């Protein structure tokens, strides 16, 4: 089975609202987690990453939260914009880098005008 | 500075044929990983190349093979194509396995097997 999964296949939010995308992982040994954004016809685009020695990391309009106790990862996007519409994947591996990343199925974020 | 580039962008092959996909990593990157993404699914790790050798492999049959050249570019070969091999094939590059840096993905090659 998959090591990483997502709770919702589709999430619809109003433009300007905040959105939260959740992810659960099952491999306790994973120590590196990444969120990717994938627009139609394009490859995954790196958004933000976090290592297991951190609980929270902030970027520009995005925040990733990691709860190792319950093996849960979330991506918060502030003040969503039409350009945020895409499929969002969480991914994990041991050690970082690009090898052996395990991806979830993805959440399709739809921004309503 | 060019990012990860893949060629071709689209490809149609017949069952049983062989296909070669190509990837040029981001400038300065020396590690290349290949992923298969079926429609509506997340990418699945195929293998990674570093210093011209396969370093790690996912759960894919031997029909999937690869190569890395001295200039760090890479090829993915798939033999005896099956209909189920139809997918978006993604290449990701990063710098130095030991540094565990961020991975950059290319736009992918859309392979259709008929």
Residue B50 has pLDDT above 60, yes or no: yes
Calculate what percentage of chain B has a pLDDT beyond 70. Answer: 94
Stretch among A66-70, A96-100, B16-20, B43-47 having the lowest mean pLDDT: A96-100
Residue A41: its chain B contacts at CB < 8 A?
Answer: 107
B47 Cα to chain A: minimum distance (Å): 7
pLDDT of amino acid A6: 46
pLDDT digits (tens, 9 = 90+) for A45-100: 999 999 999 999 999 999 999 999 999 999 999 999 999 999 999 999 887 766 78
Q: Which one of B2, B42, B87, B97 makes the best mutation probe of the A interface by having the most chain A beta carbons within 10 Å? A: B42
Cα B69 to Cα B50: distance, rounded to the nearest angstrom: 10
Residues paired with A92 in a beta bridge: A33, A102
Q: Which one of A43, A53, A93 makes the best mutation probe of the B interface by having the most chain B beta carbons within 10 Å? A: A43
Q: Characterize the bridge pairing of strands B74-78 and B19-24.
A: antiparallel
A83 Cβ partners below 8 Å, 6+ apart? none
pLDDT of amino acid A5: 52
Residues 30-89 of B with CB under 8 A from A: 31, 33, 35, 40-45, 48, 55-56, 58
Cβ pair A107, A10 in contact under 8 A: yes
What the block records as the tokens of B22 is 């190509």
Q: Characterize the bridge pairing of strands B109-113 and B10-13.
A: parallel
């Amino acid at each position: 089975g998959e090591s990483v999964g997502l709770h919702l296949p589709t999430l619809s939010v109003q433009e300007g609202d905040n959105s939260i995308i959740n992810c659960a992982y099952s491999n306790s040994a994973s120590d590196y987690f990444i969120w990717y954004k994938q627009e139609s016809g394009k490859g995954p685009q790196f958004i933000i990453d976090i290592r297991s020695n951190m609980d929270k990391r902030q970027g520009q309009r995005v925040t990733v939260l990691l709860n190792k106790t319950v093996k849960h990862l979330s991506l918060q996007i502030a003040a969503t914009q039409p350009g945020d519409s895409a499929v969002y994947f969480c991914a994990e591996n041991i050690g970082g880098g690009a090898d052996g990343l395990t991806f979830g199925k993805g959440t399709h974020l739809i921004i309503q005008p | 500075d060019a990012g990860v580039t893949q060629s071709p962008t689209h490809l149609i092959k017949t069952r049983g044929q062989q296909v070669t996909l190509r990837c040029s990593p981001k400038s300065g990157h020396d590690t290349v990983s290949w992923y298969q993404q079926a429609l509506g699914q997340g990418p699945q790790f195929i293998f990674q190349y570093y210093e011209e050798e396969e370093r790690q492999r996912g759960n894919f049959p031997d029909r999937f093979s690869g190569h890395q050249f001295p200039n760090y570019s890479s090829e993915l070969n798939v033999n005896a194509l099956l209909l189920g091999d139809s997918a978006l094939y993604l290449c990701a590059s990063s710098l130095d396995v030991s540094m565990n840096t961020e991975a950059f993905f290319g736009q992918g090659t859309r392979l259709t097997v008929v």
